Amino acid sequence: MEDSFEPVILAMCCQWCSYAAADLAGTMRLSYPPNVKIMLVPCTGRIDILHLLRALENGVDGVFVSGCLLGDCHYVNGNYKATRRMAYTKKILSEIGIEPERVEIYYNSSAMGPQFAQTCRDFTARIRGLGPIYRKLAA
Ligand code: FES
């Protein structure tokens, strides 16, 4: 049963860099796991802690945020805000008994299609190793 576990992963990608990196990965025909569902956001600074927690609450096994490289945010400091919120989200998760590794932040420029695909593969492998989140939520 556990061997067949396929995680559901949400990738929140900023429209300026990471979404373009995902697009580039597709254009380059780079494969990455279909487990990753991409959501376009205007900037990672727009993502609230509640958005991350709500996704996990609703059955997503892992969430990663992917923004512009630090210093390159189109809204100046959105990715720095997202970085701080991610750290706080991890703290909340560990306090309630959920692995903080289920959330992560990455930085991918629009030219980093291969790195984006690798991010998807690495994060999917990580979440597959953690197992389904419903076991944690039911405990
Ligand atoms: Fe990309 Fe802010 S616009 S992280």
Per residue in 103-117, pLDDT tens?
999 999 999 999 999
Q: Is residue 139 part of a domain?
A: no
Answer for the pair 106, 119: CB distance below 8 angstroms, yes or no. Answer: yes
Q: Helix H segments across 1-139? A: 18-27, 49-57, 78-95, 113-130, 134-138
Q: Is residue 137 part of a domain?
A: no
Assess whether the C-beta atom of 107 lies below 6 angstroms from ligand 1.
no
Q: Is residue 15 part of a domain?
A: yes
Q: Is residue 19 part of a domain?
A: yes
**Burial category of 33 from C-beta neighbours within 10 Å (exposed 0-12, middle 13-18, buried 19 and up):** middle
Q: Is residue 80 part of a domain?
A: yes
Q: Is residue 78 part of a domain?
A: yes
Answer for the pair 68, 17: CB distance below 8 angstroms, yes or no. Answer: yes
Question: pLDDT band for position 1 (50/70/90)?
Answer: very low
What's the structural domain count of the chain?
1
Nearest CA to ligand 1 atom 1: 68
Q: Is residue 138 part of a domain?
A: no
Q: Ligand 1: which atom is nearest the Cα of residue 17?
A: 1
Q: Is residue 127 part of a domain?
A: yes
Tell me how far apart the alpha carbons of residues 62 and 56 are, in angstroms, rounded to a whole number: 7
Question: pLDDT band for position 2 (50/70/90)?
Answer: low
Per residue in 40-89, pLDDT tens?
999 999 999 999 999 999 999 999 999 999 999 999 999 999 999 999 99
- Domain span at residue 21? 2-132
The enclosing domain of 34 has a CATH number of 3.40.50.960
Q: Ligand 1: which atom is nearest the Cα of residue 79?
A: 4
pTM for the structure as a whole:
0.93
